Amino acid sequence: MLFAEVFSGASQTWFISGWGILVTFPLYLAHLLFFLGIALKTERTSLSQLYLFGVLFALYESWITKVLWAGYFDSEGPSMGTFLGLGIGEFPILVFFWHPIMSFIVPTLVFEILTGKVLTGHEFILERTRRKTSMIVFFLILISTFIANGNQFDLVSANISLIGTLSIIAVLYKFTKDSDLSYLELGKRSFKLLGSYLILLYIVTFLYLLPERITTTILPYISILYSMLFQ
């Protein structure tokens, strides 16, 4: 929620919103547990492998928000038009950057930093250097513009959203600081329940969340399914 929703300005004060608590937060949590669980179970946890899982997350998530073919919620359509039924601007940003990096890899790495237990192969990316520090500072400055814009440049709303989320993380961290990523690997029954929840979530949200965005042409669906198979 912090990196994907708050940093993008898409969710303001989600922790006091029924939609944020009941839909958005469980959606991100379920996807992270689902794909990270598969990665841990199959021992495919290198950054490149996690990146591909994040790309799959972005492709699956598109059936809920419908952004890849209909554009962002506050727009009248894809910002740069479409190619093969998908937004030229939206597809690369969401599929190749925002969801795999901000919704999957960054939260995973930050969890490793907080717990002090790093997976083999992740050490090099977490090693502190002057160059990486400069990139992080630049990144935070860039992200601040997204937060401000998403909150309509309301400084109070932006700060409440950010500080509130960080406060929740700080409290929960006290209960999880002795854990590691292996704690997120679900058993068979839990994984089946999670899969059932995701199937139900996709059916309900595809049909009833912004139904006017459901495309009547088959090309976007074919393009997304082809991209999944390609992954």
Long-range contacts formed by 194-203: CB under 8 A, 24+ apart:
194/30, 194/33, 194/34, 194/37, 195/34, 197/26, 197/30, 198/30, 198/31, 198/34, 201/26, 201/27, 201/30, 201/64, 202/60, 202/63, 202/64
Provide the strand spans (E) within the chain.
82-83, 86-87
* Gap between the Cα atoms of 100 and 94, Å rounded: 8
pLDDT at position 152, please?
62
* Gap between the Cα atoms of 191 and 172, Å rounded: 23
pLDDT at position 190, please?
93
In the block, residue with structure tokens 């919704």: 103
pLDDT at position 52, please?
94
pLDDT at position 45, please?
93
Residues of the domain holding 39: 2-230
* Gap between the Cα atoms of 86 and 77, Å rounded: 11
Mapped onto helix, strand or coil, the DSSP state of residue 79 is strand
* Gap between the Cα atoms of 117 and 181, Å rounded: 8
* Gap between the Cα atoms of 130 and 24, Å rounded: 36
Could you tell me the mean pLDDT of each successive run of 10 residues in the chain, 231 residues long? 85 88 93 93 93 93 91 85 93 92 92 88 84 80 68 71 91 87 88 94 92 91 88 68
Mapped onto helix, strand or coil, the DSSP state of residue 187 is coil
pLDDT at position 149, please?
63
pLDDT at position 108, please?
93
Look up the pTM and report it: 0.88
pLDDT at position 154, please?
67
Question: Based on the structure, what is the number of domains in the chain?
Answer: 1
